[in-house]
Amino acid sequence: MLTYPSIDPVALNLGSLEIRWYGIAYVSGILLAWLCCTALIKRGYSSILSKDIGDFIPWATIGIVVGGRLGHVVFYGGMYYLDHPLEILMIWKPGMAFHGGLIGVAIATVWFCRARHIKILDLLDLISVATPIGLFFGRLANFINGELWGRLSDSPFAMVFPYAGPYPRHPSQLYEAVLEGILLFCIQLFIIILAQKRKWQAGVVAGSFLFFYAVMRTIGEFFREPEDGFVGPFTAGQFLSLPLLIIGLLMIQRGIKVLKKDA
């Protein structure tokens, strides 16, 4: 059994101002995702302008924070937030849902693209490559906070989390950091390069992200303690990922059609 490294969730205490690792993780993920998108544009893997992706960052940030928080309230909050409605606004506290953040970013993307007259699928393809970077840092922050721990385990990788009782559990946050972060990023990078080489239609890279995220999340949920029970045979995370799997497959099927050359 491994020893849980008790890291203070507060990275820097400035009196009345606390800077938490959770917030640093989000900021780092967004900034590195922006740099990744800019690098892909410079290498010719997207028709999006560098200026546009820079201007989109605040839109995406609002979508992530608002959507992620509301997603947590709706999908996992149960009756708690009905009794404590003001805590919905306390975004500095843990409680963000990926599926909610995804919806928030999707809405922000549609508004931004309509305002700038940009093709929505082109922007979605680009940001879907960089999104796993943010997921990686987010899962590391979950681990530091000692939240979203795994199921009971006698695995040599198991550890006792400070708020999860006296028994060892899977460090599922780290499993998900590898699956949803590192592995998914490598897949998406490969897909966008292949999409340009094969001249696939816009949307296949975004579809790939939805499909493979759903796969990675489903795998990770087998090691993660269910947050809100089960929906039939599925955890809440697996159930919410099913639509992503289906939509992703449909987008991939549409996108792999080779564009016809101009006559």
Structure-model confidence comparison of residues 26 and 125, the more confident one: 125
| Phi-psi label, residue 201: left if phi above 0, alpha if psi -120 to 50, beta otherwise | beta
Please give the Cα distance from 245 to 22 (Å, whole number): 28
Cβ neighbours, 10 Å, residue 187: 19
Task: Tally the C-alpha atoms within 13 A of residue 72's C-alpha that lie toward its C-beta.
Answer: 21
Share of the chain above pLDDT 90, in %: 69
Cβ neighbours, 10 Å, residue 246: 13
Please give the Cα distance from 111 to 75 (Å, whole number): 24
3 CB burial (10 A radius; 0-12, 13-18, 19+) = exposed
Cβ neighbours, 10 Å, residue 118: 18
The per-residue pLDDT for 262 is: 42
Please give the Cα distance from 203 to 197 (Å, whole number): 15
Please give the Cα distance from 22 to 82 (Å, whole number): 25
The per-residue pLDDT for 93 is: 67
Instruction: Say what the pTM is.
Output: 0.90
Q: Which two tokens stand for residue 208?
A: 């790939």
Average pLDDT, the chain: 91
DSSP H helical ranges for the chain: 21-42, 50-75, 80-83, 98-116, 120-145, 172-176, 184-198, 204-221, 236-255
Model confidence over 43-95: pLDDT tens digits? 999 999 999 999 999 999 999 999 988 888 888 876 778 777 887 777 766 67
